[in-house]
């Protein structure tokens, strides 16, 4: 139980440290690096929130715990009351964590089921002869996508969205969407699907549930949603002319204007037009998106490796230090209690002594020990 708790804490601290470093790099670099690079950094932080890399490090390293084990064996009776108290404390913490996880999970399930029920009641299939299918097939061919993707119309005034990881479905509102706008919208949603962004959103939700007590995980979820959209825009417009990019921005504005449904990060879909991203920043990045120079790519790669390496080291140190806290407390408590029992005259067994230990005993006790040494009951060790 204690081990599971230390793993969760280690994950939380490691993920938070990576996120803070990523935010710092983002602040320093301004708009120098690509949106895709920032998105990858957020996903790296998410990785450390979910994957205990320090356990892999523990398996590959040799940890010398012989001395601590010996102390525990020799003082098992002394340690027992202290260990019980510590376990009780951890049990309370674990119960609180489980309650938080349960409430977070139930809240997500309620929001998701309510939205899904409302969406299903408002959607209907698109006729096969509709132009929408022609656009969908064309974009899938251009992107080399072979998996089937469904497309439906929705009576709700929502932004275009793609949902479902096993049965991906693009949901379009019943607006009069121009053919060129339709191409941009469908391409945008298919890029989300191709990059597995729907899986990333589910992983972010899992991290939010597991680390519900950590405010940084909520920041990460917003960052994942924001940079997912910005990097997707970047992929859509990277080969477009300035005029086409303006048209793409106008399409986003039209969808936002027509949609009156609030988006929610718990809905596990990727919305084409969402209020979760600063609109001005989004439009500027659409107009300014360009291929990054090789020198900047190389530098960003070095930074990316540095973040990852530093995160592995910090996560390992965090996990070990958290474990050692309880060990040190138990060990010190055991020594203190052992000293008290010796002062009170409690019985304890001695297997070996040194001549320098004479000062630790009374004169009578030391004479008794010497007699036991002569009888072979106690070993007199060399200095």
Q: Convert the pLDDT of each residue in 351-361 to its tens digit.
A: 677 777 777 77
Q: What confidence tens digit (pLDDT) does each residue in 37-58 have?
A: 889 889 989 998 998 876 765 6
Which residues 6+ apart lie within 8 Å of 258 measured at CB? 157, 173, 175
In the prediction, which pLDDT does 194 show?
Answer: 92
Other Cβ atoms less than 10 A from the Cβ of 41: the count is 25
Torsion of CA 78, 76, 330, 324, to 10 degrees: 170
Mean pLDDT of 196-201: 92
Residues 77 and 153: their CA atoms lie apart, in Å, by: 71
In the prediction, which pLDDT does 78 show?
Answer: 41
The lowest-confidence range among 7-11, 195-199, 264-268 is 264-268
Mean pLDDT of 112-137: 86
Note the pTM of the prediction, 2 decimals: 0.73
Provide the pLDDT confidence category of residue 28 given band limits of 50, 70 and 90. confident
In the prediction, which pLDDT does 342 show?
Answer: 45
**For residues 153 and 119, is the Cβ–Cβ distance under 8 A?**
no
Q: Flag whether pLDDT at 228 surpasses 70.
A: yes
Q: Of the segments 113-117, 193-197, 291-295, which one has the largest average pLDDT value?
A: 193-197
Residues 233 and 249: their CA atoms lie apart, in Å, by: 10
Q: Which of 40, 52, 31, 54 is nearest to 303 (CA)?
A: 40
Helix (H) or strand (E) holding 202: helix 197-210
Q: Flag whether pLDDT at 99 surpasses 90.
A: yes
In the prediction, which pLDDT does 266 show?
Answer: 52
Mean pLDDT of 271-278: 59
């Amino acid at each position: 139980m204690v081990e599971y708790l230390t793993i969760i804490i280690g994950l939380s601290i490691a993920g938070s440290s990576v996120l803070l470093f990523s935010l710092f790099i983002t602040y320093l670099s301004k708009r120098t690096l690509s949106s895709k690079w920032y998105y990858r950094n957020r996903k790296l932080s998410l990785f450390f929130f979910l994957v205990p890399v320090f356990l892999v490090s523990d398996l590959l390293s040799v940890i010398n715990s012989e001395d601590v084990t010996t102390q525990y064996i020799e003082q098992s009776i002394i340690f027992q009351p202290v260990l019980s108290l510590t376990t009780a404390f951890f049990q309370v913490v674990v119960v609180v964590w489980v309650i938080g996880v349960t409430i977070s999970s139930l809240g997500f399930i309620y929001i998701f089921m309510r939205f899904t029920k409302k969406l299903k009641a408002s959607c209907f299939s698109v006729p096969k002869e509709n132009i929408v299918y022609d656009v969908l097939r064309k974009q899938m061919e251009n992107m080399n996508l072979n998996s089937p993707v469904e497309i439906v119309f929705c009576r709700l005034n929502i932004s275009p969205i793609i949902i479902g990881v096993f049965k991906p479905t693009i949901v379009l509102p019943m607006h009069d969407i121009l053919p060129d706008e339709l191409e941009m919208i469908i391409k945008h949603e298919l890029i989300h699907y191709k990059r597995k962004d729907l899986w990333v959103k589910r992983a972010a939700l899992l991290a939010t549930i597991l680390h519900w007590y950590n405010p940084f995980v909520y920041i990460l979820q917003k960052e994942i949603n924001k940079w997912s959209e910005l990097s997707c825009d970047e992929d859509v417009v990277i080969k477009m002319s300035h005029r086409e990019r303006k048209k793409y921005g106008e399409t986003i504005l039209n969808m936002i204007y027509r949609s009156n449904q609030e988006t929610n990060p718990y809905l596990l879909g990727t919305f084409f037009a969402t209020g979760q991203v600063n609109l001005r920043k989004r439009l500027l990045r659409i107009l300014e998106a360009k291929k990054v120079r090789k020198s900047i790519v190389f530098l960003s790669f070095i930074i990316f490796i540095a973040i990852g390496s530093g995160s592995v080291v910090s996560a390992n140190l965090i996990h070990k230090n958290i474990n050692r806290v309880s060990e040190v407390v138990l060990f010190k408590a055991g020594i203190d209690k052992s000293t008290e029992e010796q002062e009170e005259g409690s019985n304890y067994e001695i297997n070996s002594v040194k001549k320098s230990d004479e000062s630790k005993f009374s004169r009578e006790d030391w004479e008794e020990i010497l007699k036991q040494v002569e009888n072979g009951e106690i070993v007199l060790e060399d200095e």
